[in-house]
Amino acid sequence: QVQLVESGGGLVQPGGSLTLACAASGFTLDSYAIVWFRQAPGKEREGVSCITFSDFTTYADSVKGRFTISRDNAKNTVYLQMNSLKPDDTAVYYCATQWGRKYCSPYYRTDSYDYWGQGTQVTVSS
């Protein structure tokens, strides 16, 4: 049973930091690419970052230089370290993967991913 569970969201002031976690079960995380998406109210879901099974990483232009994706294989968890947060970063953040996917796509199409976590809310506000 493939399962992804996000955690770490919360309320933070602009310029602050949060670290999100995506805990995986039912599969070996280090063999899969994991993608972070986010969805703000009234907007479509957008890709944020991706990490391949071999730890190659990609980032959306909107977060590059501020966010860092990483994995801890011992904990079967992928993290998203978010720094210099902006109000526009406010969204529900989801992690996702696809059976057999080892690499990242630059397109971040939501329908490319079969397994999703429940999401964790990030609110950036003063």
47-90 pLDDT, tens digit each = 999 999 999 999 999 999 999 999 999 999 999 999 999 999 99
Q: What is the mean pLDDT of residues 93-99?
A: 96
Pick the closest to residue 21 from 102, 76, 85 (CA basis): 76
The pLDDT of residue 29 is above 90: no
- As beta bridge partners, residue 24 has 4
**Residue 106: band (very low, low, confident or very high) from pLDDT cuts 50, 70, 90:** confident
- As beta bridge partners, residue 96 has 35, 116
The CA-based dihedral angle spanning residues 58, 8, 29, 37, taken in that order and rounded to the nearest 10 degrees:
-40
Give me the chain's average pLDDT, please: 96
Please report the pLDDT score of residue 37 as a whole number: 98
Q: Which residues contact 115 (CB under 8 A, 6 or more apart)?
A: 2, 3, 4, 96, 97, 98, 99
Please report the pLDDT score of residue 18 as a whole number: 98
Please report the pLDDT score of residue 30 as a whole number: 87
**Residue 120: band (very low, low, confident or very high) from pLDDT cuts 50, 70, 90:** very high
95 and 22 in contact (C-beta within 8 Å)? yes
Please report the pLDDT score of residue 95 as a whole number: 97
Least confident range of 13-17, 29-33, 44-48, 53-57: 29-33
Strand pairing report for 120-124 and 10-12: parallel
